[in-house]
Structures are given as structure tokens and as C-alpha cells.
Structure 1
């Protein structure tokens, strides 16, 4: 953005110095359009300003809506430089358009919301139905839209489930920190909560692979809602230890919370459907720190975790892979076929429409019209191929979706309470008891991260951190200090 801004400002200064400010309004028919370049630069500046952390985090809606200016930025950029020079951005722009249209197709249908776990710390875990063919890696995210709150707002949330441990469910954790998430929490947690909620999703999106098994120990450091990506990792390791019967790394989870109510986020370590008894063999140690309270809250002041079950809607569908199980092959076919259609259509356009008028002089046919026609051909070629692939896979996955809907039985009415808030009674299951026994609670203090990390003597220690920027920098400095060669740092940041 700096180069674009410098380019535009230098030309404005030059025109002002040479008394040619009228050039700013020039819109050439067969030449460079200065006005289009200025409009493109202005749109880019709006995008850039909205990315400032203070705006992005405090006014997410403003950040989200202003980023639709990318359409104006691209269109006026093409008008400014012409089709030939705009081809330098064609590969990236083409892939972006394919991805954006596939996401649009996926977001048109409502998905089946099965249940929601309501935590007293203004946190929700939404549990959706999915087909077994949809797989994803730990630390993935998913965009969620609730039309009853806003039809235009899409928010990314961390997936807490494991596609292997929970083959027919996918879950996301939502912390009530912004206006949108607070409205959703109030809507679901209120005494007269809704029994059916229309939700659309895009995703999931995540890393292609993970390498957690290569370490002897995983140290996970989280602050507040930063624990959510670690939940999916722990659930994945639970499945690995159970199914593959192989040695999994031991886990040290260091979680920092402001209030004791936030401790209920540790309940999300176990899926709503329960966990296998092998959870106790995972080797999980939890060190939970509550910084703003000196002692545990009395039993009378504690609020329990609730689970709310939603009635199914016949029009809701389980979440399916948008391009089926062979999604990479389908994606390659879409990109190659749409690009071939684009090239053939472009050749026909130039040979039978533009050439008879322009005769290769580039001085007669309008540059803006040529740019519009080229962009229109790109969009049409992508729409045709993507829609065909989507409809084909939609039909193939329709059978699995119907089977899942038929298998979903009566709605459970009871829900387990928090195992932290009911520690004085008998545990309901062996996994819950194992997690409670492996947890140490610390009130009124912060963790001594340097001591906790340096005292680990395993040959390979993977250090993952997700939380405030200051925490991430502190852990990074400890791992890069050179005082411990066995620490391998990896930051997980969700700065949307």
C-alpha cells in the first residue's frame, strides 16, 4: 500500500507543480485513466485504515463492511492500467474469485444446529451436525452467520471438535466479547431461549497438516478464550491414543483466566457426547490460574453449565464438504476448466468482436469496455464450472445427509453440570474424574512461565501459545533465549 500511495501522491504533486491539476479528472478512452487510478487508491486506503488493530478488534463490523471495497479497488485498478498490465495480478485474482464463489455457494443453505453448551462466562459451544466425509485438522476455524442477528455479518470462530473423535459433529466456541456474539449469547441463554436457530457457515479452514506427535511433550499456554484451539488438539490426541494405540506426547496445559467463572471453559475439553475411557491415559496436566480472585467462589454463587437442544428443521442440512471427499481433485478441475473457458472465450471475443473494430491499433476500442468484458468473462467462466461441480457433489452427498437426519433421534432433555463446579460430588464418568484430578487451581497469581518451561527436561518440547500479544511475546522470548535447546515455539494467533 505504501508503493501505491507514493505513486499517487507523487503524481498529484507533479500535476500541482506544473499547473496540470485537471489531469486528475482525466478518463481516457484508449489511454491510462487517471481518475480510475485515484478511485482505486482511495478504496485501497479505506481498506488499509480499517485493518488497524484498534479498528479491527473494537469495530469489527466496520472492518468487515469496508473490506468489500476490494471490489472497487480491483475494478478501478483494471480501468487505470488496462487489461494487459492487469494480467500481473490475474493468477491471484483468479484463485481468489474461485474461492469466494465456492464460499458463496456453501453459505446459501442453513445447517443443522444440534445443541449449544452455555457457559456462565458468556461463552457458547455450538454443536452442528456434519457428514462423516467432512474432515479437518485441529486449530481450524469456521465462519458463522446468524441471519436473525445480521444477514451480512460473518464471524470466524475456532473449531473445538475433532473430526476423528466426533465424526458426525462439528463444534465452535464463541466468547461473548463483541456486540454480535453478546446478542447470540443472550438469545440462547435467556430463559425464553429459541428452540430453533437458522445458521449458515463457511468452512472449515485450517492448516493442511499438524505435527504434534513429533514432540515428547506439548506445553500449551493460553490466555482467556485462547484455550479454544488447544481444545481441538487435545480431543484429537484423545482419539489418537484410543484408536491408533500409539504413544502420544504428554500435555501440560497452562491456562490463565481473569475470573473463576472462566474456569468452565475447561469443561469444553470433553465433547458433549462424552469421551472414551482412554482419556485418563492421555497424560494431561492442567495448571489453571485465576488472576483477579484470591480464593474460590462459594458454592452458592456458582452457576452451572447448561446444554440446550434445538428442534430440527426439515430444511436444515448437515455440514458437508463443498466439493466432496476428493475436494482437491475437484478444485483443480474447477481452476483448470474455468481458465480454459476464459481463454477460449477471450479469443472469441477478440477475434469476432474487438478485432473488426480496432484492427489491432489499440486506438479505437474503448479500454474500459474491454476491461469490463474481460472481467465479465472471468466471472462467467468461474460461475459455470464452480456451480456444475457444486451441484454434482451436492447430489452425491445428499444421500449421506438424509441418513444422518433419519438417525437423529429424540432430543435429550438433561445435561451434565460443570465438573469444576461440582467437584465435591461423585464424578459422573471416568474421563471427568481423570481431568479433575489432573487439574491444579491457582488463585490470585500469574504463572511463572520461565520456571514452568525451563524445568521440562524432555528431549523435544513443543510450546504452543495463544492469547494476548504480551503473553505470546513473553513465551517467544523464553524459547528463543538459547537457555533451553529442547523448546520449540509455535504461536497461534487469531487477530481478526
Structure 2
């Protein structure tokens, strides 16, 4: 510890001891004065105390009575006043030291907050590293763990904002505000930290739910400030200290670069089904080697609407049932989705649409086959993740080696036009001719229409698109051995990073992509040949579909108008030793299902919430 600091603390201790002694002495003198005033009317004071004091103070210069009263009433108060000045002078010095100690504590608190914020920042990027191998190891997916990114983001910005405010206050009270412009080449750069904080605050403010929902574009574009934030954060604390939060950000950079490479090529859009309830199903071509599990998602970009915006949507197809294509469902809710729906639903819909894709992403495995009954509860567009499960089980039901569970879909819609979303359970083509092997029961509830509304009913139409030479089937960015390639990229690039600060990362990733590009090109030719033989003639045209193409499928649907599902009664009446309950849709619906499953009324219910909080 600094010698000056030790000396100041020793001096302060001595001053405090003298202050306490003076305070005690003055208290005794003051109480003695009060005692004299109390005793003045008494005989003891008049006959004993006063004569003794007069005899002692009698002198040539002062009369005995006058001198006695000066000693009894005047001298004590003047002594207290004089010594009080000494005490207050010493207290002023002590106050200055206390002020210095408070400033030192504020400096320490600000520093500790920065350290804690760095720890939280170290975990911030893991949930948004979509292709990470860490999340699947713990049974997590990026889309389900995005809430942890949101929580950590709030914590990080709260701590870093407090960290910055504390240092600004410290510089103000110490008359050292010029520290805000300090930029050290070695050590901490204050100005770089302030720039990073401003960028972080801009991102943080746009995450307010009302802003994010109503002005999504502002939220989306502002989030690119994370680049500015990270650059100036590194400049603020130094590259060596950044090793604390390097792993998460390093994996995120690799994942982001791979996503960038995947999104450079346009994916061939085969067809779109346009539903009257302002919902679209997009069917895209995919390579045979691309496989994925149900409950997956894809990020879609349509440059003709916005070159920068990417939006996540649930995958509704099955890689087994639909080996040549992958499907997503888009509900027209925001400005971006409304533009896309208007574009494809208009009579002059385009005969080709450029589409870029990132993904698919989803769980590494599913466990639906281990249950006797699978109950899926949805509200509105929450039905979309369940379509992929049903399609997968339709395929599994055709295999003799597997026993599929009984499937119950409880879905609620506002209007009868939304019942057409049930048509998306079956793909346009490729489904088995007989799906009776799957025990499927659908209970559909229309809450606002008391009877079928046929006045404004419109048929579902299919828009088919022309192929283009620059379009290619969607394929895994690193090929069928993507996990091995990803492990090699992480290991090799980080090894070189220790020497070249990670310059080799894009080179290694690009080599893996180009290695698989030739393989994907061969598969693309095969897929296009198959589509040319079995698909319709090129061009854009509309085709009406029957609402229920298979009779066995239509017989499994019960529609209830003007009512809501009695979830507690329905969930508790299903029999089976093991029942999996999935819920997707509004938060209130998911909470209601979770409450029923955790109420203890039935131990056989195993609940899982499907939520995509992007």
C-alpha cells in the first residue's frame, strides 16, 4: 500500500481520538454549568458552594462576588465556545478525509461494476450463435435460448451504464472531467469506452417492446451497432483483457461468417400457397443431403422487399416426407410480411422471386416417439411448428419398425378463414397416399365466428415460379459432415489466431464452403432434373386446391364454432402412461397449459413450451 495513504490514515486516526476527547470534555463542562444553574436556588449552593468559590477567587484585581459569578457562569461557556472552534476545525479536516475516502470508494465501485459487466458480456453471444455445437450439447437451441440473450443484454447494459455514470461522477467531484477524453495507447481508454457505451445504449433503447414491435426496422438496423460496440470495447480495455469474453464472441464471429457465405447464393423458390387468412406457405428447393428435425426455423431475406432484413419462420416440412423441398409458413402481421403477401397474392404475382436463406436451425434430436400420446395446443399462427411434427410422424407411420404415438392437435383460431391453415398439414405433393396409420385427431376452435363463414371464402391458390440459372437448392453450408468441418474451423483458426490474431478464420471457413460447393452443384443438377421431369411447365399460374385432399385426413378434424377449448377437461381426459404436451402461441395460452400440467391433477403430463421470442 502507498506510504502516503498509510500516513493519511494514521493521522486521521489520531485526529479522531483528539476529537473524541475534546467532545467528552466539553460535554462535562456544559453539564457542570447546567448543574450550577439548577443548584443556584438551593441552600447548599448559597451556604457552601458560593462562599468557597468566593474565597478562592478573591484577589486585589477582582471582587469576590463578581469573580465567583465569572467562574461559575461565564468562564465555562467561553471555554466551551473556544474549544468548540478547535473541535470544528479538526472536524473540517476529518470531513475532507471522509470526502476523499468516499471518492476512493466510488472509484472502486465503478471498477468492480466494469469487471462484473465483463463477466456477463462473456456469456452474451452464446445464445445467438445459431450453428454452435455448445447449445445442442446441453439440449438447447438458439431460438429457445434467445431469452437468455435478452436477459443478459439487459444486465450487461444496466451494469455498464452504472459503471460509466459512477466514473463520470467521480471525475466531476475530483475536478478531473478531462479524463472523459483520455485515450491511452496502453491501458484503459476512457473515450473508447464512452463510444462503446453510447452504441450499447442505442441498441438497448430500441429493445423496448413497444419500439421493437411497432418500429421493427429501427430495432433491426440499430442492432448492427454491436460491431461498433465490440470494436470500441476492445479498444477500451485492451486486447489482452478481452480474452475473458473472447470465446463466446469468437464462436459468434465464425458462425456469422458462415451465415454470410450461405446467404450469398439465391435459393430456388418452387411455389407458394396463398391462403385467404393472409398466410403464405413458401416451398423452396433443397438438396437431398440436407436433413433437419421438426421444430426447426429458417431466416429468410427477400431483397426485393429489403436487402438487409432477415426474419425467422418455423419450418413446416419434414426432411423425410419432403426430401426435395423445405417449407415455411409466413403470417402477414408486420410491414415486411404484408408486403410479401401482397406481392404473391396479387393477380400480377412475379414469376420469380429472389430468396436468400440462413439455416435451417433446430433441435439436435426429438423424443416424440417415446410417448404414448402427443398433445399439441396452439393459438393462431402457433400451429406452424406443429405442422412439421405431424408431417414427420406421417412419414414414420409408414415404417413398420416404428410405433407412432396418438397425435392430438388442439388449435384455436379467431375466424373461420384461418381454418385453411389446417390444409398446410399436408404438403402439395409427396405425402403418402394413405395416412390412416397415424392416429390423428384435430380439435379446431373458432372463437369469434359462431358458424362457418362462406360469404367471403376464397380458395387456396398455388403460385409456381420459373427456375433460374443463378438459383440453387438449399444445402448445408458445410455439407453433410458439417460438425466435423466446424470443429476443424474452430480448432485451426484459433490455433493460427494465437499467432496472427485470427486472420486465418475466413480462409479456413471459405475452404470448407468451397470444398462442399462442388458437391452441392452436382446435387443441384440432379434435383433440377427431377423437378423438370415431375414438375409443371415453367411459368406462373394459379391452381385451386381441395381444402382436404385426403378423406382420412378430413375425418380426423372436428370444428367447434363460437367457443374456446376447455383445456383442463381435454388434457385430463386423455389416457396413457406417458403424454407429451406441447404449447405454442400467445404467452397466456402457454402459461395456462403449463399451469394445468403442473397442477398435480395428472402426473402423466409432460409439458414443453414452444416459444420464439425474436
TM-score normalised by L of structure 2 = 0.72
Gaps of 5+ in 2: 1-155
Gaps of 5+ in 1: 346-376, 421-427
> What is the rounded CA distance, in whole Å, between the counterparts of 1:281 and 1:231 in structure 2?
17
**Which residue, 542, 557, 565 being the options, matches 1:439?**
557
Q: Secondary structure at the match of 2:267?
A: coil
> What is the rounded CA distance, in whole Å, between the counterparts of 1:303 and 1:491 in structure 2?
33
Partner of residue 510, structure 2: 387
Residue deviations 1:374-429 (CA, integer Å, cap 9, x gap): xxx42x22111011111111112211111111222252667452426xxxxxxx5x
Partner of residue 417, structure 1: 545
Q: Is the 8 A contact 1:97 1:382 kept in 2?
A: no
> What is the rounded CA distance, in whole Å, between the counterparts of 1:151 and 1:62 in structure 2?
15
Partner of residue 308, structure 1: 463
Q: Secondary structure at the match of 1:150?
A: coil
1:116-127 equivalent positions in 2, closer than 5 A = 116-127=272-283
Partner of residue 606, structure 2: 488
The total of aligned residue pairs comes to 453
User: How far 1:458 moved relative to its partner?
Assistant: 1.3
> What is the rounded CA distance, in whole Å, between the counterparts of 1:414 and 1:199 in structure 2?
20
More divergent stretch after superposition (458-467 vs 40-49): 40-49
Q: Secondary structure at the match of 1:174?
A: strand
> What is the rounded CA distance, in whole Å, between the counterparts of 1:169 and 1:243 in structure 2?
21
> What is the rounded CA distance, in whole Å, between the counterparts of 2:357 and 2:400 in structure 1?
31
Q: Secondary structure at the match of 1:54?
A: helix
Q: Is the 8 A contact 1:464 1:492 kept in 2?
A: yes
Give the greater-gyration-radius structure (CA).
2
> What is the rounded CA distance, in whole Å, between the counterparts of 1:471 and 1:269 in structure 2?
22
Q: Is the 8 A contact 1:142 1:159 kept in 2?
A: yes
Point out which structure has higher relative CO (alpha carbons under 8 A, 6+ apart). 1
Partner of residue 228, structure 2: 72
TM-score normalised by L of structure 1 = 0.89
User: How far 1:465 moved relative to its partner?
Assistant: 0.5
User: How far 1:278 moved relative to its partner?
Assistant: 3.8
Is 1:333 aligned to 2:451, yes or no? no
Is 1:97 aligned to 2:253, yes or no? yes
Partner of residue 469, structure 1: 587
Partner of residue 522, structure 2: 399
Q: Is the 8 A contact 1:238 1:278 kept in 2?
A: no
Partner of residue 424, structure 1: none
> What is the rounded CA distance, in whole Å, between the counterparts of 1:274 and 1:433 in structure 2?
17
Is 1:195 aligned to 2:351, yes or no? yes
Residue deviations 1:205-238 (CA, integer Å, cap 9, x gap): 1111111111111110111111000000000111
| Higher-helix-fraction structure | 2
> What is the rounded CA distance, in whole Å, between the counterparts of 2:361 and 2:216 in structure 1?
20
Partner of residue 322, structure 2: 166
Is 1:221 aligned to 2:399, yes or no? no
CA RMSD of aligned residues (A): 1.4
User: How far 1:26 moved relative to its partner?
Assistant: 1.2
Partner of residue 117, structure 2: none
> What is the rounded CA distance, in whole Å, between the counterparts of 1:279 and 1:57 in structure 2?
40
Is 1:235 aligned to 2:363, yes or no? no
Partner of residue 474, structure 2: 319
Q: Is the 8 A contact 1:264 1:418 kept in 2?
A: no
> What is the rounded CA distance, in whole Å, between the counterparts of 2:220 and 2:486 in structure 1?
27
> What is the rounded CA distance, in whole Å, between the counterparts of 1:208 and 1:416 in structure 2?
37
Partner of residue 571, structure 2: 453
Q: Secondary structure at the match of 1:210?
A: coil
